[in-house]
């Protein structure tokens, strides 16, 4: 069969040989591989092939294709070589009797290098709810039922949303927000960075599981808490009313809980001590604190009392007691927080020097007005934060660069979506006849006197005249006539009828006392520097709780800072302060986080008087201040009125080149 296939692939003559029972000519004869093809008639070839196929068909199923190729070997004289058999040599190979050793592989468990980090043990503090034997699975709902602080100014509010402010709008479920703590830029070691990265999101940390939060913070507050948590040096400079206190307390709480701090000192102005105590009770009920107060011996004992994570002291105590301790004996703190840190803006003051000398690991400063007058004030704060060398005077560029790293400032405009609006309405009032004549007389006489002073005139002289005129715009000292009071009574009638509450600010305690009588029918309460400290908290509590107390009369100095009066929907500025930042602080007692409705701010401005002129200057300054702070915290604008501006009120010129000296009175704190 092989022959047949072979032959069919070569030539047709071979096929014929095979079919007749012979062998391939070449193999049997030893002749040439190729025999010359005999001439065959094409028809014969076709018929023979068919015969062949007929015989084969039972055995094979392939059809042979007749090839009609003629192979002719050219006679070259070497054809004999083609008949020769190729030489074949045989070589024997010795195979191995058994297989040799091959590479083997067994699974082994390689040793793997690891890196580990254990988190410090936090202080185990027991929340009141848990201590009472309540399950903490529903802490959120029970938080409000825990022991109320003795005086609670914060109402049990829910954070307002835009939707909740508009009737008929159904609030859509908010997308879940996650605030992660970022490692600070100066954390380079891997363990430091992992410590922050592996902390849970603040929302779940503070979601009432392990730490009870009485109220849900706003997104920007979460951001502030996370920022403070990760900072050794921080200046939280949020605008007033955005919740610096709550952010600070919560960050302290998290630091204590995560074992980062064990002893914290909070320093604040004396009038704010009750406020901080109340806020600590509200926002960190499980965190024990002690106020440094009493006589020297008791204070000394308090400073060194062990096991208390938070001490609260006022600036005066700190300065006095630090000096009383011997060198190196003052207790060391893991964190020192300065509230209203503008108190140390003068770096050579004793307060500033003491603050810088306090032994500590972390330094935080809180202020709503990081720059009240000059950028150098920021330098003093940086020195406390230990981010500039002692006595350094960073230029504006350095201040900006440091601000990016160490200052967090948010304005209400940035977070306004979380807050109801503040509506400013200026009330321009005509003086009443008696007021007007008294005013004109005083002004004319005053200017004449000033001119008579000649070169001996000082800003103080001008300032005195301004004060006298401002008092007349409030009320005529002889007749008691007052355009402002008339307007106030009209407004208060409406406010009281609707159950609203108002705060009124004046520069003078005398004016406040004078207003008390006509405002008696609206349940007026008085809160100024003349009111003893112990009576102040009950007054605030009554203002909040007594439905008949519709107005609180306050002085800028005592009432402007730190108080939470967000249940008041109206603010009256009976007369104007010199510095718009102080006025803003006053307004922000009511217009702050937690206020449920808009706050209407009314400024009384007497037409064609010194007040209108001051207002013009202050408005311009406010616009400038807003423009600069909007882009950052770099400003060298002088917010208080300077001597040149005071002289300008009466078309007088500043003498002796003291045109930029600040003469505005300092608020009494």
Partner 1 sequence: MSNGNHDQFRLGFLTAVEDAERGYVGGLLITNRFGRPLEFQCTAPVKPNRTQQILYGPTLKPYVLSELIGRTLLEKVGVKPHLILLESLDLLDLRSVTSTPVASLVLAPDASRPALQEQGDGKEVATATVLPNSLRLGNEVVVFHSTHDEDRTEIEKFAKLVPVDADLREPFERVREALAETVRLSAARPA
The piece of 14-22, 39-47, 207-215, 635-643 that touches partner 1 (CB under 8 A) is: 207-215
Closest separation in Å from C-beta 314 to partner 1: 34
Interface with partner 1 in residues 303-362 (CB under 8 A): none
Closest separation in Å from C-beta 108 to partner 1: 10
Cβ atoms of 264 and 102 closer than 8 Å: no
Closest separation in Å from C-beta 250 to partner 1: 15
Q: Does 58 bind partner 1 (CB under 8 A)?
A: no
The CA dihedral of 603, 609, 610, 615, to the nearest 10 degrees, is: 40
Between 212 and 431, CB nearer to partner 1: 212
Between 38 and 104, CB nearer to partner 1: 104
Q: Site for partner 1 (CB under 8 A): which residue of 209, 393, 401, 535?
A: 209
Closest separation in Å from C-beta 662 to partner 1: 49
Say how many residues touch partner 1, by CB under 8 A.
30
Between 139 and 633, CB nearer to partner 1: 139
Between 26 and 122, CB nearer to partner 1: 122
The piece of 192-200, 272-280, 294-302, 654-662 that touches partner 1 (CB under 8 A) is: 192-200
Distances (CA, A) of 45 to 40, 51, 160: 7, 10, 108
The piece of 30-38, 160-168, 190-198, 467-475 that touches partner 1 (CB under 8 A) is: 190-198
Between 206 and 552, CB nearer to partner 1: 206
Q: Is 236 helix (H, G, I), strand (E, B) or coil?
A: strand
Q: Which residues, other chains included, contact 560 with Cβ-Cβ below 8 Å and sequence gap of 6+?
A: 505, 554, 582, 585, 586, 589, 667
Burial class (CB in 10 A: 0-12, 13-18, 19+), 75: exposed
Cβ atoms of 345 and 215 closer than 8 Å: no
Closest separation in Å from C-beta 192 to partner 1: 11
Closest separation in Å from C-beta 105 to partner 1: 6
Distance CA 556, CA 570 (A): 16
Interface with partner 1 in residues 510-549 (CB under 8 A): none
Between 64 and 207, CB nearer to partner 1: 207
Q: Site for partner 1 (CB under 8 A): which residue of 155, 201, 659, 665?
A: 201
Interface with partner 1 in residues 86-105 (CB under 8 A): 105
Q: Which residues, other chains included, contact 28 with Cβ-Cβ below 8 Å and sequence gap of 6+?
A: 22
Between 205 and 303, CB nearer to partner 1: 205
Interface with partner 1 in residues 211-270 (CB under 8 A): 257-258
The piece of 147-155, 197-205, 307-315, 577-585 that touches partner 1 (CB under 8 A) is: 197-205
Residues linked to residue 423 through DSSP beta bridges, in sequence order: 600
Within a 10 A sphere around the Cβ of 44, how many other Cβ atoms? 12
Length of the chain: 669
Between 127 and 502, CB nearer to partner 1: 127
Which residues of 159-283 form beta strands (DSSP E)?
A: 233-236, 264-268
Closest separation in Å from C-beta 211 to partner 1: 9
Provide the 8-state DSSP code for 138: G
Q: Which residues, other chains included, contact 589 with Cβ-Cβ below 8 Å and sequence gap of 6+?
A: 241, 503, 554, 559, 560, 563, 564, 565, 566, 568, 571
Closest separation in Å from C-beta 200 to partner 1: 4
Distance CA 49, CA 660 (A): 127
Interface with partner 1 in residues 140-179 (CB under 8 A): 178
Closest separation in Å from C-beta 107 to partner 1: 8
Q: Scanning the structure block, which residue is given the tokens 């003291």?
A: 658
Between 9 and 117, CB nearer to partner 1: 117
Closest separation in Å from C-beta 120 to partner 1: 10
Cβ atoms of 315 and 296 closer than 8 Å: no
Closest separation in Å from C-beta 143 to partner 1: 15
Distance CA 410, CA 79 (A): 107
Q: Render 535-591 in DSSP notation, one character per residue.
A: HHHHHHHHHHH-TT--EEEEEHHHHSSS---TT--EEEESS--S-HHHHHHHHTTTS
Q: Site for partner 1 (CB under 8 A): which residue of 210, 376, 489, 612?
A: 210
Between 193 and 356, CB nearer to partner 1: 193
Per-residue contact flags (x/-) with partner 1 for residues 578 to 617, judged by CB under 8 A? ----------------------------------------
Residue 263 C-alpha from the chain's centroid: 24
Q: Site for partner 1 (CB under 8 A): which residue of 42, 73, 198, 627?
A: 198
Distance CA 304, CA 476 (A): 56
Tokens of 74: 């050219």
Between 169 and 190, CB nearer to partner 1: 190
H or E stretch at 454: none
The piece of 148-156, 186-194, 499-507, 533-541 that touches partner 1 (CB under 8 A) is: 186-194
Cβ atoms of 230 and 182 closer than 8 Å: yes
Q: Is 428 helix (H, G, I), strand (E, B) or coil?
A: strand
Per-residue contact flags (x/-) with partner 1 for residues 104 to 143, judged by CB under 8 A? -x-x-xx-xxxxxxxx--x--------------x------
Cβ atoms of 614 and 649 closer than 8 Å: yes
Q: Site for partner 1 (CB under 8 A): which residue of 42, 190, 357, 416?
A: 190
Q: Site for partner 1 (CB under 8 A): which residue of 5, 45, 123, 193?
A: 193
Tokens of 587: 């307004």
Closest separation in Å from C-beta 257 to partner 1: 8
Distances (CA, A) of 459 to 302, 576, 620: 46, 19, 21
Distance CA 227, CA 242 (A): 15
Between 252 and 595, CB nearer to partner 1: 252
Tokens of 5: 């296939």
Q: Site for partner 1 (CB under 8 A): which residue of 26, 155, 160, 200?
A: 200
Give contact residues for partner 1 (rule: CB under 8 A): 105, 107, 109-110, 112-119, 122, 137, 178, 190, 193-194, 197-201, 204-205, 207, 209-210, 257-258
């Amino acid at each position: 069969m092989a022959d047949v296939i072979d032959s069919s692939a070569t030539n047709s003559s071979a096929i014929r040989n095979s079919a007749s029972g012979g062998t391939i000519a070449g193999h049997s004869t030893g002749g040439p591989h190729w025999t010359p093809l005999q001439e065959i008639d094409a028809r014969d070839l076709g018929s023979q092939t068919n015969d062949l196929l007929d015989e084969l068909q039972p055995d094979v199923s392939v059809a042979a294709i007749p090839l009609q190729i003629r192979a002719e070997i050219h006679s070259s004289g070497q054809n004999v070589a083609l008949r020769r058999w190729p030489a074949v040599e045989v070589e024997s190979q010795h195979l191995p009797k058994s297989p040799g050793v091959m590479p083997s592989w067994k699974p082994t468990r390689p040793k793997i290098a690891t890196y580990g980090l254990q988190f410090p043990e936090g202080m185990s503090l027991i929340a009141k709810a848990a201590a009472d034997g309540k399950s903490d699975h529903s802490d959120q709902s029970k938080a409000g039922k825990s022991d109320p602080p003795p005086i609670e100014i914060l109402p049990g509010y829910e954070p307002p949303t835009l939707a909740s402010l508009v009737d008929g709008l159904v609030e859509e479920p908010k997308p879940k927000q996650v605030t992660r703590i970022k490692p600070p830029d100066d954390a380079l070691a891997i363990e430091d960075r992992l410590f922050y990265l592996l902390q849970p999101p603040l929302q779940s940390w503070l979601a009432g599981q392990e730490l009870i939060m009485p109220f849900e913070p706003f997104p920007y507050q979460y951001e502030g808490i996370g920022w403070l948590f990760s900072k050794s040096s921080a200046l939280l400079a949020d605008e007033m009313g955005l919740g610096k206190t709550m952010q600070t307390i919560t960050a302290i709480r998290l630091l204590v809980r995560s074992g980062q701090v064990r002893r914290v000192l909070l320093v604040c102005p004396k009038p704010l001590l009750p406020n901080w105590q109340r806020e600590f009770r509200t926002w960190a009920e499980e965190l024990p604190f002690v106020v440094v107060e009493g006589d020297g011996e008791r204070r000394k004992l308090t400073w060194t009392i062990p096991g208390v994570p938070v001490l609260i002291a006022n600036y005066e105590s700190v300065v006095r007691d630090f000096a009383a301790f011997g060198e190196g004996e003052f207790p060391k703190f893991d964190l020192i927080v300065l509230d209203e840190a503008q108190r140390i803006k003068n770096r050579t003051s004793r307060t500033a020097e003491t603050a810088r000398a306090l032994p500590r690991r972390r330094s935080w400063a809180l202020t709503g007005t990081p720059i009240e007058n000059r950028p150098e004030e920021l330098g003093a704060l940086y020195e406390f934060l230990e981010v500039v060398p002692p006595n350094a005077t960073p230029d504006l560029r350095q201040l900006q660069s440091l601000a990016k790293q160490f200052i967090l400032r948010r304005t209400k405009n940035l977070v306004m979506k979380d807050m109801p609006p503040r509506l400013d309405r200026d009330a321009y009032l005509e003086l009443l006849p008696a007021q007007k004549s008294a005013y004109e007389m005083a002004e004319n006489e005053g200017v004449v006197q000033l001119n008579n002073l000649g070169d001996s005139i000082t800003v103080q002289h001008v300032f005195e005249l301004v004060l006298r005129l401002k008092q007349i715009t409030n009320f005529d000292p002889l007749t008691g006539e007052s355009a402002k009071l008339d307007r106030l009574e009209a407004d208060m009638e409406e406010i009281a009828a609707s159950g609203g509450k108002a705060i009124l600010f004046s520069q003078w305690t005398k004016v406040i006392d004078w207003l008390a009588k006509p405002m008696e029918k609206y349940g007026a309460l008085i809160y100024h520097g003349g009111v003893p400290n112990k009576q102040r908290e009950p007054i605030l509590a009554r203002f909040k709780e007594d439905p008949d107390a519709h107005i609180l009369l306050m002085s800028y100095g005592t009432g402007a800072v730190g108080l939470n009066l967000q249940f008041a929907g109206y603010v009256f500025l009976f007369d104007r302060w010199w510095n718009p930042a102080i006025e803003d602080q006053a307004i922000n007692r009511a217009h702050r986080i937690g206020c449920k409705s808009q706050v209407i701010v009314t400024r009384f401005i007497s037409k064609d008087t010194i007040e209108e002129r001051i207002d013009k200057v202050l408005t311009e300054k406010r616009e400038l201040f807003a423009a600069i702070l909007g882009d950052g915290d770099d400003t060298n604008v002088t917010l208080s009125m300077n001597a040149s501006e005071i002289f300008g009120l009466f078309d007088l010129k500043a003498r002796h080149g003291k045109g930029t000296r600040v003469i505005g009175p300092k608020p009494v704190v």
